A = this chain, B = another copy of it.
Amino acid sequence: MTKIRNMEEFAALSGISRPTVSKYFQDPDSVRPTTRLRIEEALERFDYRPNIYAVNQNRKLTKNIGIVVPYLADPFFAEIARYLEQSCIAAGYRPSLFSSHGDPKLENEILDGLKSMKPAGVLLAPLGRTSDRTAIEKFCANVPTVLFDSNLEGLGAAFIGSDNFSFVSQTVEYMTRTGEPPSFFEMRTPANPNANKRRKAYIEVMERLGFDPHIIKVDGKGWAFEEIGHRGALKVLSDRELRTDSVLCSNDRLAIGFLAACYEQGIRVGRKDDSTLRLASNDDHPFAKFTCPSLTTAAHDYDNVAGRSVETLFELIENGGKFDTRTETLFPARLVLRDSA
């Protein structure tokens, strides 16, 4: 079988002119069914694929989509990325996945590289507080970008995320209703803006319910949340900082560390009578089902956040890369009752 070098040769072999073949590859439905058939027959016999570099050089808009997450070693983002990737592929795009690995400098470099890829659009979950706002703003001005998970006010054409108030209000109300009002356990300077919204929601809900908010801030920076939660919990437990038997963690990864600390200290966690502590959290991390005890947590609406993000990006692309107004879409949480609270 002869090796095909370019579209010219393939067109000759399939008996169709090159411009028509070119049209076919951009949209198979844009050619007459009979010619489409002839091309696809030839395609089966000769296995030819257009040179993506030549294609992308000449298109003003590529079929590439950039997906950027802040920390891929967090299975939460790995799962979201998985969903986003497959949605893009299903829609005929070529997704490229990047992780900022918690590093703002790397985030900038990724956006830089992305810009030179002339992507049709970008799905960006920014680092948050540590992000270089100016750089991201400049990027969004050049590339159709939809933000997700972590909102940077005013940046990107749209934001899709979770309604942090819904997360916290459900867990706080549940814990209060079935026991004591929880303290709120979080990092002192959280990287993720969702953390700030959760703290505010906690305060608001507690006050509405007539309780005194009690926030415990633990030291530590970076994205090693389990480690931070673990260290922080050991300190909290030894210093007896808790006012009630209930704790609400800002996120599951902190909670995983907290639970490990409790286990080491012989403190039984759960809603059963023999337990001395109840612990709930937010996110429904993929491993939350397998912590000891399994973690009661408010689950992201993964499917809707991811689904709506790609939908929005596709709309944005079809709309020429601009929306009249920037929309923010928030999906509520679903309370997942397990054994820890």
> A72 vs B80: C-alpha distance in the bound complex, in angstroms?
11
Residues of B within 8 A of A230 (CB): 290
Known: A57-B54, A72-B81, A286-B73. A263 touches B293 (CB 8 A): yes
Whole-angstrom distance from the CB of A96 to the nearest CB of chain B? Answer: 6
> A293 vs B263: C-alpha distance in the bound complex, in angstroms?
7
Segment 54-78 of A: residues with Cβ below 8 Å from B: 54, 56-57, 72-75, 78
A260 within 8 A of B: yes
A204 within 8 A of B: no
A326 within 8 A of B: no
B-contact 0/1 string along A240-262, CB 8 Å cutoff: 00000000000000001101100
Contact A292 B291 (CB under 8 A): yes
Minimal Cβ-Cβ distance residue in B for A71: B78
Whole-angstrom distance from the CB of A154 to the nearest CB of chain B? Answer: 25
Contact B292 A259 (CB under 8 A): yes
Contact A97 B94 (CB under 8 A): no
A33 within 8 A of B: no
A2 within 8 A of B: no
Binds B, one of A14-22, A45-53, A212-220: A45-53
**A73 touches which one: B54, B82, B96, B257 (CB < 8 A)?**
B82
Whole-angstrom distance from the CB of A82 to the nearest CB of chain B? Answer: 6
Q: In the complex this chain forms, how many copies of it are found? A: 2
Residues of B within 8 A of A259 (CB): 290, 292
Residues of B within 8 A of A264 (CB): 293-294, 339
> A292 vs B118: C-alpha distance in the bound complex, in angstroms?
47
Whole-angstrom distance from the CB of A211 to the nearest CB of chain B? Answer: 30
Whole-angstrom distance from the CB of A152 to the nearest CB of chain B? Answer: 23
Residues of B within 8 A of A72 (CB): 72, 78, 81-82
Segment 207-235 of A: residues with Cβ below 8 Å from B: 226-227, 230
Segment 284-305 of A: residues with Cβ below 8 Å from B: 286-287, 289-294
Whole-angstrom distance from the CB of A73 to the nearest CB of chain B? Answer: 4
> A52 vs B53: C-alpha distance in the bound complex, in angstroms?
8
Contact B113 A291 (CB under 8 A): no
Known: A75-B73, A78-B73. A292 touches B101 (CB 8 A): no
Residues of A within 8 A of B (CB): 49, 51-54, 56-57, 72-75, 78-79, 81-82, 85-86, 94, 96-99, 101, 113, 116-118, 226-227, 230, 256-257, 259-260, 263-264, 286-287, 289-294, 339
Closest 8 CB pairs of A and B: A292-B292, A263-B292, A53-B57, A73-B78, A260-B290, A53-B56, A53-B53, A226-B290
Beyond contacts A51-B57, A260-B294, A263-B293: 5 other A-B pairs, Cβ-Cβ < 8 A, are A49-B116, A53-B57, A86-B101, A97-B97, A264-B293
